[in-house]
Amino acid sequence: MEKSRTIDSHTILYGVFGDPIRHSRSPIMLNRAFQEANINAVYAAFHVRPDELGDAVRGIRALGYRGINVTIPHKVEVMQYLDEIDEGAQIVGAVNTIVNENGKLIGYNTDGIGYVRSLLEETGIELTGKSVLLLGAGGAARGVAYALAKEGAGCIYIANRTKERAVELAETISVYTKAIGLGLDELGEVVDGVQFVLNTTSAGMHPHVDELPMPTELLREHHLVSDLIYNPRITRLLREAEAKGARIHGGLGMFIYQGAFAFEYWTGTPAPVAAMRQVVEQSLAE
């Protein structure tokens, strides 16, 4: 039985800024979270064009929104309009969550920590000292590499089509743990020695479901193979990894836990993760 909710003059407002935004599952997930936690709040999606971003952020303060998620293409641009940026978001160079502390806007990035939390809860992997192969060196890779390093990964190999970008990211991450940038043609030299392989690229995402981020003949059964993509739920990479006897982990948990961390930053209460997962899975199945 759904708890009924009344929107009144005490309702706290939240939302997500993006362009496009109508595909976003965040409103379904976070409204369900507020309902489950019995919090008088509502979460909406706002289509904010790039030239309107500054005005939209000023609107957070003016209207007293408590929190906003930020999605593509605004995660980098939004930073110039905020009062303070968390260390993790600074290193990643992107913000996906804004907290309004009485008119002071603080930016966080919950993508990387959300991913690592889902990885630990869903696979039980112990990251301390493990060697990781990370495919891609874009925004998602930055957040995840930082979070994996902070979680104790012993060595992170970052492989990218443009090797320079991988080397650059490895330099940033090497402050926190050993990190080495590679070109995709150098995978064969390191793949046997890693325990964990992670795709942060868009290769294999709907509608390009047949694309692979790496040759799957390099995968071994001692690998745990993970993909940030959650549409489709099981990518071609994961399907072929599983056929080789490897353990696999999909990307839906990252989406759920990045929202869970945002919820916790905003409300100070533990996120009702099971209810959030259930409603997102239901919406993806429809």
Q: Check whether 45 has a pLDDT greater than 80.
A: yes
Longest dimension (CA), the chain: 61
pLDDT in tens, 3-20: 567 899 999 999 999 999
The catalytic residue among 75, 150, 178, 244 is 75
Query: Is it true that 12-109+255-285 and 112-250 share their CATH fold?
Result: yes
- Calculate the average pLDDT of the chain: 95
Q: Taking the domain 112-250, which CATH number applies? A: 3.40.50.720
Q: Tell me the mean pLDDT in the region 71-84.
A: 94
111 is in an annotated binding site: yes
Q: What is the dihedral sign for C-alpha 271, 26, 198, 123?
A: positive
pLDDT of the residue at 70: 96
136 is in an annotated binding site: yes
Q: Which DSSP helix (H) or strand (E) runs through 279? A: helix 273-285
Q: Check whether 155 has a pLDDT greater than 70.
A: yes
Q: Supply 267's token pair.
A: 């409300």
Active site residue 104: no
Q: What percent of the chain has pLDDT over 90?
A: 90
The superfamily CATH assigns to domain 12-109+255-285 is Leucine Dehydrogenase, chain A, domain 1 (3.40.50.10860)
252 is in an annotated binding site: no
Per-residue pLDDT band for 165 (boundaries 50, 70, 90) equals very high
How long, in residues, is the chain?
286
96 is in an annotated binding site: yes
Q: Check whether 284 has a pLDDT greater than 70.
A: yes
Residue 161 main-chain phi, psi, to 5 deg: -55, -50
Q: Where are the domains of the chain?
A: 12-109+255-285, 112-250
Q: Check whether 2 has a pLDDT greater than 60.
A: no
Per-residue pLDDT band for 286 (boundaries 50, 70, 90) equals confident
- Measured between alpha carbons, how far is 139 from 111 in angstroms, rounded to an integer? 10
Per-residue pLDDT band for 231 (boundaries 50, 70, 90) equals confident
161 is in an annotated binding site: yes
pLDDT of the residue at 96: 95
102 is in an annotated binding site: no
Q: Supply 175's token pair.
A: 């402050």
pLDDT of the residue at 58: 98
40 is in an annotated binding site: no
- Measured between alpha carbons, how far is 66 from 15 in angstroms, rounded to an integer? 9
